[in-house]
Amino acid sequence: MEHCEERRPHHDIRQSFPVRGRVRGWFYRLEELPTGLWQVRGRDRFGQTVNVVGSTPEEVLKMAEDEAMMLSDGLTPAG
């Protein structure tokens, strides 16, 4: 996880992370990897990031949103 104190404008984030999830202020990018797995990268306006790899797009997006929720609430993800 990388963390940055500066706010980034939403339009800049949306260019690289076009999917808006259920966690307010977070944006995601979903990609299918050559291995057949799916990867979601997420970023918030403060520069916090999440990165999840899994077998289905729905699974990885939910896992990324769960991690984003924990970061937004000030908790550290288990792992």
Domains assigned to the chain: 10-72 (3.30.160)
Nearest to 25 by CA among 34, 37, 39, 13: 13
> For every one of its 79 residues, what pLDDT tens digit does the chain have, with 9 covering 90 and above?
444 445 555 555 555 665 677 888 899 999 999 999 999 999 988 889 999 999 999 999 999 999 999 998 875 555 4
Strands 49-54 and 26-32: unpaired
Question: What's the pTM value of the predicted model, to 2 decimals?
Answer: 0.70
